[in-house]
Structure 1
């Protein structure tokens, strides 16, 4: 953990740790959160540079939306800081207590941690699109009709309550230290910030083959038919290639960003909660209890069977596709 110790020393010397302890003495920065604190000034600087490059094109940049996106990201980081320690961390500690193997940190286990986190991220991300409960939190990230660095900050403050962190628990059970898991996850998110842009076209073929790139991630944010629910990787794109969810960007079919049904408001709380409201409204409709609760784990486009034909599932237009 030499890198973490070095960062802590720098923050102590700068006075930031003292300020943090004065403002929130009941909170302790863990390594994962520390990475986000250190990276945020770089995110802002890069986003400002991009804004100056594309501010003339309203299809690519809206200054008010960019500020809103950073506010959404601040809400996400705030709930993580306030509640991760009492919701997620105890469960990780319990899993790690009953771990199958005692693993020490070295070059091999560091690489395995990275690969494991990337594998878990792929399935978490894929589930976030195909299970409505998780989509209710993730939709805010996809609801912008622009693709720029600020879009990466467009996160949901409900994530910690939504349970996405459960996907990484198997790593702790295997014996990977939760601190390592948190650091690998944080570094993955830092990397992913930089693939939310239209300024970088295709990278060399070997990079595009292995890594998630701006080109691949533009496809992921596209609502075009053929682009929906593709390219779920974090740092790596290899899982998408292995599991059949990879689609390359086609310059003849440029991505159209956003979701088919726009959010009803740009109010931050509405952006965070509107899909939960729709989900619970669907569940409240009359019908058999079993079919009402199935809305929680069915895909976003799932529609309850008609009462006269309970053996058939009728699809509706997906919430995140073109009509």
Structure 2
């Protein structure tokens, strides 16, 4: 098997397809159609300011992705070149890579809900109290540091081109599951794949729905690791500490600002650590415990 090392120039010269960029016009058209249908049916699924904020966040995210392309490629390529083995570039390597990426996306997503530092990169996506296709655009501008969770994929020997194509497919998959209009699908699909029904649960702040259904493309990881919750009652969307703002910058950085504020008010290194890495759902409890000491 060819284990020749690749250079960044070689990877970039392969003219990788930007699937997300090609899909963007279709997604925008679908958002507009869903908005029009919601207006016609008098459904309270959209809010103009909320959608504008989500779209702005999404556009800036595309720009950030483009600007750090060399860094992202360089990280994956560095770890790919560290190992002596290679997975052949065949049709099945794409399927295998997709599943492997999805496994790590599950854990990256779960950690982003269970650790405040990583929650700060993800909270933007959950702060909307609406649930529609435009919400899929709301991805925090600091989310790109989560590339570290995908180093095991590079170390597995998947060609960087295979990695980036599969990762784009994974990201695109998230679009269609952000809607109220697609209800429960046939059981075999609901059992294996993440569906709108599963993801509505994930975006809800109902007590029984909190920190459930982290699956990206496949819901099987939640079933295996005990975080699965079927959709039962109507979801109440948003976060437990609502953010009353439509400012894209504030929506992307408010949690980081709160972390810095808590660090400044901390009276020990132990408190600094706790305020930075506490589980978000236990933040108030932790704050109280340090105040009472």
Structure 1 residue runs of 5 or longer lacking an equivalent are 1-26, 310-323
Q: Decide whether the 8 Å contact of 1:72 with 1:268 is kept in 2.
A: yes
Cα separation, partners in 2 of 1:213 and 1:308, compared to 1, 3 Å: closer
1:112 aligns to what SS in structure 2?
Answer: helix
Aligned to 2:38: 54
Separation of aligned partners in 1, 2:152 and 2:104: 9
The CA deviation at 1:100 is: 4.3
Map 1:98-177 → 2, pairs under 5 A? 98-160=82-144, 163-177=145-159
Separation of aligned partners in 2, 1:31 and 1:157: 23
Structure 2 residue runs of 5 or longer lacking an equivalent are 1-11
Aligned to 1:31: 16
The CA deviation at 1:307 is: 6.7
CA RMSD of aligned residues (A): 1.9
1:197 aligns to what SS in structure 2?
Answer: coil
Separation of aligned partners in 2, 1:167 and 1:245: 19
Q: Decide whether the 8 Å contact of 1:77 with 1:157 is kept in 2.
A: no
Aligned to 1:181: 163
TM-score between both structures, scaled by the size of structure 2: 0.89
| Corresponding position: 1:225 with 2:210 | no
The CA deviation at 1:59 is: 2.6
Aligned to 2:258: 278
Corresponding residue to 1:257 among 229, 233, 237: 237
The CA deviation at 1:235 is: 0.9
CA-to-partner distance for each residue in 1:38-75, whole Å, 9 max, x for gaps?
01011011111111110254631113322221111111
Greater per-residue helix proportion: 2
1:55 aligns to what SS in structure 2?
Answer: helix
Separation of aligned partners in 1, 2:88 and 2:214: 30
Q: Decide whether the 8 Å contact of 1:76 with 1:155 is kept in 2.
A: yes
Separation of aligned partners in 1, 2:292 and 2:212: 35
CA-to-partner distance for each residue in 1:279-303, whole Å, 9 max, x for gaps?
1111111311132133222211332
Identify which of structures 1 and 2 has the higher relative contact order when contacts are C-alpha pairs closer than 8 Å and 6+ apart: 2
The CA deviation at 1:192 is: 1.2
Aligned to 2:216: 234
Aligned to 1:319: none
TM-score between both structures, scaled by the size of structure 1: 0.81
Cα separation, partners in 2 of 1:65 and 1:306, compared to 1, 3 Å: closer
Cα separation, partners in 2 of 1:127 and 1:30, compared to 1, 3 Å: farther
| Corresponding position: 1:194 with 2:176 | yes
Q: Decide whether the 8 Å contact of 2:124 with 2:138 is kept in 1.
A: yes
Aligned to 2:58: 73
Separation of aligned partners in 1, 2:75 and 2:25: 31
Cα separation, partners in 2 of 1:69 and 1:286, compared to 1, 3 Å: closer
Tell me whether 234-243 or 280-289 shows the greater mean CA deviation: 280-289
**Residues matched between the structures, number:** 277
Separation of aligned partners in 2, 1:298 and 1:143: 19
Q: Decide whether the 8 Å contact of 1:200 with 1:214 is kept in 2.
A: yes
Separation of aligned partners in 1, 2:239 and 2:200: 14
